[in-house]
Amino acid sequence: MLFSVLVSASAQAADNSREAIAERLKPVGELCVKGDACAGDGSAASSQPGDSGSGGQASAASAIDGEKVYGGICMACHTTGAAGAPRLGEAGDWEGRLSKGDETLYTHAIEGFNAMPAKGGNPALSDEEVKAAVDYLLDSVR
């Protein structure tokens, strides 16, 4: 009897209307591409003064939030030092690595190196996102 009351109550509490389902399934964000109209604000993404000459590539890379990428996956190892990962903000952990240069560190992060899997184990990350996360880590010790 108690079971049927609980099942009945939970079925009544759940809103399974088409509108409620659509609300739960709607995207959490939208991509606004430079030159396209952005939903929500009615404006178009436009180039800023000083953007010329880069072909858009440098602007896109600098717009990526390395801290956000780091917080999504990298922090799992680079906060604790798991499997020998150099820790965020710990200059001693980075001593032998910094001398290899940024390009080598980018390559190691993108392709994998020793215990670190390629792209930190998230193949959905772009190379630019990985580089932004590496820059965030390096900025914490420079």
Q: Is residue 7 part of a domain?
A: no
Domain range for 113: 65-139
What one-character DSSP code corresponds to residue 40? T
Which of 5-19, 41-55, 57-71, 110-124 ranks highest by mean pLDDT?
110-124
Where residue 24 falls among pLDDT bands split at 50, 70, 90?
confident
Q: In Å, what is the CA distance from 87 to each residue of 15, 18, 134?
A: 45, 47, 12
Torsion of CA 104, 106, 107, 113, to 10 degrees: 90
The per-residue pLDDT for 141 is 96
Q: Is residue 77 part of a domain?
A: yes
Q: State the amino acid at position 25 in one-letter form.
A: L
- Which comes out higher in pLDDT, residue 13 or 133? 133
Q: Is residue 82 part of a domain?
A: yes
The per-residue pLDDT for 25 is 77
Asked if residues 29 and 16 have their Cβ atoms less than 8 Å apart, the reply is no
Whether the predicted model's global pTM rises above the 0.75 cut: no
Number of domains within the chain: 1
What one-character DSSP code corresponds to residue 112? -
